[in-house]
Amino acid sequence: MIYRDEREQCPRCSTELIDARAARGCSTCGGLWIGVGDVQEMVQQMQTPQRPMELTFEIDQRTALACPSCKDPMRTLNLYGVPIDSCVKHGIWFDAKEFATVLWMSAKRTA
């Protein structure tokens, strides 16, 4: 039997995640847990002018973190040069400051 806690926990430090606007965040290490669709939307909003953007992931070889939702090992990927962890079903985990870096890099790359 698989036990699933209703509250999602930080894959880094096991702190309970708190709501942070469109995302959920860890108040201890500053990590962010965001749905892929929301990430894509925010990346698109960074483009001037705004335009549709495909998220370009590259495979990265690191130790996998567990998904905060389903506890499956997440895929370790690279998004705009930033190492991130992604669960196909639930979203993308960004360590502190990584999300801001992804947004910044995505805008820079297409400028």
Give me 45's structure tokens.
């909003």
Q: Binding to Zn ion by residue 70, rule CB under 5 A?
A: yes
Task: State in angstroms the smallest separation of the CB of 27 from Zn ion.
Answer: 8
| 10 is a contact residue toward Zn ion (CB under 5 A) | yes
Q: What is the DSSP string of 1-66?
A: -----SS-B-TTT-PBPEEETTEEE-TTT--EEE-HHHHHHHHHHHSSS-------EEE--SPPPB
Q: Which amino acid is at 7?
A: R
**Binding-site string for Zn ion from residue 16 to residue 55, where x marks contact by CB under 5 A and - marks none:** ----------x-xx-x------------------------
For residue 52, the minimal CB distance to Zn ion (Å) is 26
- Residues lying near Zn ion in the complex (CB under 5 A) are found at 10, 12-13, 15, 26, 28-29, 31, 67, 69-70, 87, 89-90
